[in-house]
Structure formats: structure tokens, C-alpha cells
Chains A and B, each alone.
Chain A
Amino acid sequence: SETQHLLTNFFHLS
């Protein structure tokens, strides 16, 4: 199955 990633896995909070 596939997991929906979060944007915060790729982009960091600034």
C-alpha cells in the first residue's frame, strides 16, 4: 500500500 506523505517531510518550517 501507499503512504500519503506530508509536505513537512520535504519542506522545512521556516
Chain B
Amino acid sequence: MLELRLVQGSLLKKVLEAIKELVTDANFDCSATGFSLQAMDSSHVALVALLLRSEGFEHYRCDRNLSMGMNLNNVSKMLRCAGNDDIITLKADDGSDTVTFMFESPNQDKIADFEMKLMDIDSEHLGIPEAEYHAIVKMPSAEFARICKDLSSIGDTVVISVTKEGVKFSTRGDIGNANIVCRQNTTVDKPEEATIIEMQEPVSLTFALRYMNSFTKATPLSNTVTISLSSELPVVVEYKVADMGYIRFYLAPKIED
């Protein structure tokens, strides 16, 4: 028996919008720790890791570990039927091949349930080792989204370089090239507007902008984004999901032959 009640149902709606472009089908795993997902995109270049901790749910019942295969486009179709203020409850019986999404309006005058068929998915789970990152950049998520969008109108790849001067996003294409430098800036009115750069050593890596743009679909989840870089390692682009968890996107770098 599985029953997860999320008062801030809009978080789940935003999570689905954030990942459905990157991944088509995925297994959602439920355990005592929380509700999680790990899935690679079809070309095995990018990975999304989601964790919503059990403490973040108003009610969290998961009698045994359960893996539920879902088509994310179909989940998104279901969740789009929930109002932004609705409370969302996920329910599944042991051994059932369906999951039920229950939507309750805030004043309880409308209750809907949508039952969705589950599917068998052969999932490939990657072991992601703990890593020490050479540079960690925390910046406003809207700013990062704007940079990725702007650069993708010029080129296909972005070089992200962190030095003590700041973080530089560069691209080049047929029509020309572009460089955007963001300096550390902590003298802002609100903490979420700050750009904070923690650098152990300079790092410069190249990534496909198409994937970066896909990650920025998570922007509505959080005012800030954290970008962790190490030479010779995939970048981690992390968005917090309120105080209950995170979405982390991993992207393998392009490396000079």
C-alpha cells in the first residue's frame, strides 16, 4: 500500500514539467526515504535524479519499496488536470498495475481521482560517486535560463569557465560568438538574487546547449540554481524542490579529441 499526500501539489506539477522533455519513461521509486527517480535521456548523455523526502509529505505511507514505471507525458497529462492550489495524493495498492492521482481543492469542495496504467520499464541505474567539485556556482535560476536561451541562438555548445574573475558562458556559431561573464555578487537585496562562486581551482568545460536548455524547464521550481563543475566530470545542475528535496541534472561534457 502506497499513499503520499502532498499539500503543495503544484510542486509535483512543476517537477513533471521539468523532466518530461528529457525523459520519456521512468520508474518512480518509493521507499521510507522518499519518492525518487533516476533516469537517463535516450542518448545516455544526460541524467535526471529526483528526490522528494518523505518528511516533505503531509502523509507518507509506503509499506514496502515500490517501483512504478510511468510514461512521463501521461503523468503530465494527469497532473495538468490538478489545480495549482490542489492537494495531490498518490495511491497504489500492492501488486496493482495502476496508480491513482487524487486532487482535492483547498476548501475540499472538489475531489477528483485519475487512475493511470503503470508500465514495465527496464531501468538502468547509475552509481553516481560522491565527488569534490572544483567550482560551485550558485546563481538566480532565471538568469541561468536566460543565458542558456540567449547563447543557443548563436551556437550549439556552451563553454562554462570558472576563474577567480567569475563564471563565463561562451559560445560560437556561424554568425559570430558570445561571452557572458557573471561575477560574484553578494551585495543584493534578497539572498536568492546573489551569485556566489566557490572555486577550488579554475575549470573549463564544454556542454551541449540543447540539454542545458532542457534543464532550465525546472526554473519555476526554485529561484536559484547550483552548477557544480569538475574537469573530466559531468556537470551537475541542481534545483531545490522547496525544502523537501531536489532535481539534479547531470550532463556529460564534450571533450576535445
Contacts and interface: CB of A to CB of B under 8 A. Distances in A.
Contacts of B40: 7
A2 B252 contact: no
A14 B206 contact: no
Interface string B25-47: 00000000000000010011111
Contacts, number: 56
Interface string B225-254: 000000011100000000000000010111
A14 B49 CA distance: 15
Interface bin, chain A: 10 to 19
Contacts of B124: 13
Nearest to A14: B127
A7 B126 contact: yes
Interface string B189-215: 000000000000000001010000000
B45 A10 contact: no
B255 interface: yes
Interface of A: 1-14
